[in-house]
């Protein structure tokens, strides 16, 4: 009997002792070695975070917002769709649209019973903004304006003699004054300082067009300053270029200014004959780097090679206390299919891999000649000083 049992055990598979050893080894394996179908691996945060999923359908965003608590405000929902699809362009436009949505959110906000209006509104607004950040890119101007609203809300005095409507009115006035001072008046101040840098006979190369750049060029033409304008065009900047050219379609302005549009690849041949490079900034960092449209750093390097000044226009409400070491940490990635709308329908395939288009880059301070702001013409590395001064200044004086 013993011989038969031994022969059976040796003939079919491993012995019983080996099976028991394998079971013990399997029990000793860490959980990471075993595949668990019901458990998803944690996602690691990467520097290349795609802060937006371009061309997202409205149904997808509404689905995300429905699962959140509290639900996303309809205006925030609309802003998320438009920014994700690059309909709302420019730091100023996004900031103004966000503040307008916040005003509507404040006006329609209903105070839960037994809670403080200030703390309840602040908590719900933060939750909505956290949800909004997951659905669309959040520009530096939007972050700074949100910080202003939250700090103003935190510093408000809730007295027993003050009603909720009075508190809402005060907060709405602060938001309106922020838009007037930091956005509208800032562009006017930049135009005043920028006119000092435009002389008759200049040949100005323009790229990364913003509201301040358009306002400065229009004001210079209206003042009768004769200069030549060389607009560098890329597929991503066609909307801003069209806006600039439409505003320059004036018989009087056409006699003063000469406009030429060239491709980005031909900038090398035009830079030799230019007198200065004019760019619009979307953000300014503490290390002196300027966030602008992708390609601004290359043009600034080209200008430095030919000893041409690179002038950036940037409002102070776009100053940021960060110091990014690369252009990806705060960048936006837009689908390449967005610029191929003229393709035939049979050539478009929704199952094609995502083709990202980098929207911004960071120009180092060594390539920036001067930054024209709404307070003065400053070196790009003066951001910490400006932030310290603005930190101690109250935008709105509370009525006694």
Q: What is the pLDDT of residue 280?
A: 96
Q: What is the pLDDT of residue 157?
A: 82
* pLDDT level of residue 363 (50, 70, 90 thresholds): very high
CA count, 13 A, side-chain hemisphere, 281? 33
Q: What is the pLDDT of residue 217?
A: 95
For residue 236, is pLDDT > 80?
yes
Residue 37: φ, ψ to 5°: -65, -30
Of residues 34 and 218, the one with the higher pLDDT is 218
**Residue 163 class from Cβ within 10 Å (0-12 exposed, 13-18 middle, 19+ buried)?**
exposed
Of residues 170 and 352, the one with the higher pLDDT is 170
- Mean of pLDDT over the chain: 79
pLDDT in tens, 370-397: 999 999 999 999 998 898 888 766 544 4
pLDDT in tens, 157-208: 877 778 888 889 999 999 999 999 999 999 999 999 999 999 999 999 999 9
Whether pTM > 0.85 for this model: the answer is no
Of residues 357 and 39, the one with the higher pLDDT is 357
* Structure token digits, residue 314: 């940037």
Q: What is the pLDDT of residue 27?
A: 53
What does the alpha-carbon distance between residue 215 and residue 223 come to, in Å, rounded to a whole number? 12
Residue environment code for 215-225, b if the CB has 16+ CB neighbours within 10 A, otherwise e: bbbbbbbeeeb
* Domains detected in the chain: 58-185 (1.20.120.420), 188-338+354-391 (3.40.50.10470)
For the segment 252-279, the average pLDDT, to the nearest whole number, is 91
């Amino acid at each position: 009997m013993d011989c038969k049992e031994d022969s059976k055990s040796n003939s079919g598979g491993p012995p019983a002792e080996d099976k028991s050893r394998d079971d013990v080894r399997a029990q000793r394996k860490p959980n990471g070695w075993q595949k668990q179908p019901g458990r998803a691996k944690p996602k690691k945060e990467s520097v290349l975070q795609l802060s937006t999923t371009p061309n997202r359908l409205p149904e997808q965003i509404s689905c995300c917002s429905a699962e959140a608590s509290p639900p996303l405000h309809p205006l925030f929902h609309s802003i998320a769709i438009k920014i994700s699809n690059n309909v709302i362009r420019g730091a100023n436009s996004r900031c103004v649209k966000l503040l307008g949505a916040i005003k509507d959110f404040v006006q329609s906000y209903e105070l839960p019973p037994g809670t403080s209006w200030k703390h309840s509104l602040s908590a719900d607004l933060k939750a909505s903004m956290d949800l909004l950040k997951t659905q669309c890119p959040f520009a530096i101007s939007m972050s700074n304006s949100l910080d202003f609203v939250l700090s103003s809300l935190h510093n408000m005095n809730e007295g027993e003699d003050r009603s909720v409507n009075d508190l809402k009115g005060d907060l709405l006035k602060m938001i309106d004054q922020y838009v007037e001072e930091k956005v509208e008046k800032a562009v006017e101040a930049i135009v005043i300082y920028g006119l000092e840098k435009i002389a008759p006979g200049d040949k100005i190369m323009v790229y990364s067009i913003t509201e301040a750049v358009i306002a400065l060029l229009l004001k210079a033409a209206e003042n009768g300053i004769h200069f030549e304008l060389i607009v560098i065009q890329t597929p991503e900047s066609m909307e801003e270029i069209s806006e600039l050219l439409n505003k320059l379609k004036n018989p009087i302005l056409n006699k003063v200014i000469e406009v030429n549009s060239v491709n980005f690849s031909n900038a090398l041949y035009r830079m030799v004959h230019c007198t200065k490079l004019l760019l619009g900034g979307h953000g300014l960092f503490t290390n002196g780097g300027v966030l602008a449209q992708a390609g601004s750093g290359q043009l600034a390097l080209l200008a430095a090679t030919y000893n041409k000044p690179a002038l950036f226009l940037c409002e102070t409400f776009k100053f940021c206390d960060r110091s990014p070491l690369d252009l990806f940490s705060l960048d936006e990635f837009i689908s390449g299919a967005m610029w191929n709308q003229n393709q035939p329908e049979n050539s478009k395939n929704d199952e094609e891999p995502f083709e990202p288009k980098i929207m911004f880059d960071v120009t180092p301070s060594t390539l920036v000649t001067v930054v024209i702001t709404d307070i003065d013409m400053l070196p790009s590395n003066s951001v910490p000083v400006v932030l310290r001064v603005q930190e101690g200044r109250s935008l709105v004086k509370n009525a006694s």
